[in-house]
Homo-oligomer: A and B are copies of this chain.
Amino acid sequence: MSKPLLINGERLWNTLMEHGRIGGTAKGGVCRLALSELDGQGRDLFVHWCKEAGLEVRIDAIGNIFARREGTDPSRPVIAMGSHIDTQPTGGKFDGIYGVMAGLEVLRTLNDKGIQTKAPIEVIAWTNEEGSRFVPVMMGSGVFTGAFTLEHALAATDVDGLAVQDELRKIGYAGEVSPGQVPGGMFGAYFEAHIEQGPVLEAHELTIGVVPGALGQRWYDVVVTGQESHAGTTPMDLRHDALLAASRIVEKVNALGRHFAPYGRGTVGYMQVLPNSRNTIPGTVKFSVDIRALDDGDLLAMEADLKDFIAGLQKADARLQVDMKQVVYFPPCHFDEACIESVRAAAQALGLGHMDVVSGAGHDAVYVADVAPAGMIFVPCKDGISHNEAEDATPEHLAAGAHVLLNAVLKHAS
């Protein structure tokens, strides 16, 4: 790689700050729910800037926005970048919008420097990534890649009964383009820059996360039934304590995550104890189990180990009943080797400290990876906090991520 190009970090920061005023909250966050009037304003400003930069804008039927800078070789597929404009109800100034504005900044930089690429390049804003107002989550990229149908997505309603198709029309983003249709054919590559939304880069004092993939997830509902009885009159050896059994499962779930380090995760986040009275031994405990891993084989091994452990608990106490039911499954996603390597090489060429950081959360890139080579670039966020008005990132880190994005894209577009 020749001497790496740099984007304009100050312009990127100012662009983010200006855009963050749309839906900006008193606490410094952003509330820009998908397909709300504020989402419409956020889209309009993005489209305005794209046109200002000479990009050609098209909108598809689920409201995804594609802004294109043509290349010199009509036979080359487009190299794409993107993320989303919508936020959580108490969201921050960086989740989503950073990937969109970093893409815009890449194209502005190419304009500034008068660089013509062989392949066309697009920056994309995907519709309703957050899923706060409408499910399915990652709606725009999900329809684009065929994870679910356009009709299903358009019919989705919010808590007030308002439908996606009507809300899209209201804000002027019910486009004509058929989702999944890309002029010149599907992306040659797709890169998404995003804040990490976790603590890993900060803990390692590194700037760039090279993302090998996104964790697969299996979620379960578990109900432990023992026997409710008096905490004073029931000796320890005559108890069937549902909370004790549940506590042992919490410990086991944690151990499973540790065993499959560095990418294993095991979490009990929800728990309800019944009857939940101080001096009554709990008779029933309901809780969630969330296990994640980068390989489905690991996920299945975790599940099998957990089931063995539960069988052991029941063998030790025949009065104990444990019901475990899978309620969610997301398969693991492995990003494209060439895309991963382009991100790593760009970071290296730029002299930026980097490490592999797996994505523990969902992103539009995960759906895109089903139809095109894809990769992601993470930058640190303060204390790993996201989906929170306190979400924060430094101008230097955000610029660094966009430098990497520019150079990775150039490698594929040249």
**A residues neighboring B (CB under 8 Å):** 196-200, 203, 215, 217, 219, 229-238, 241, 243-244, 246-248, 250-251, 254, 257-258, 261-273, 276-282, 288, 290, 292, 359-361, 384-387
Contact = CB atoms under 8 A, between A and B. Distances in A.
Nearest to A258: B236
Contacts of A247: 246-248, 250-251
Given A196-B233, A272-B276, A278-B288, 9 more contacts: A198-B229, A199-B238, A217-B232, A219-B279, A231-B269, A235-B261, A236-B254, A247-B248, A269-B278
A115 to B, nearest CB: 35
Copies of this chain present:
2
B280 A276 contact: no
Contacts of A238: 198-200, 203, 384
Given A248-B251, A276-B271, A265 B199 contact: no
22 contacts: A196-B233, A198-B234, A200-B233, A232-B265, A232-B361, A233-B384, A234-B265, A235-B263, A236-B257, A236-B261, A238-B384, A243-B250, A243-B268, A243-B269, A244-B250, A247-B247, A267-B281, A268-B282, A269-B277, A269-B281, A270-B273, A271-B271
Nearest to A263: B235
Contacts of A360: 230-234
Given A269-B281, A269-B282, A231 B290 contact: yes
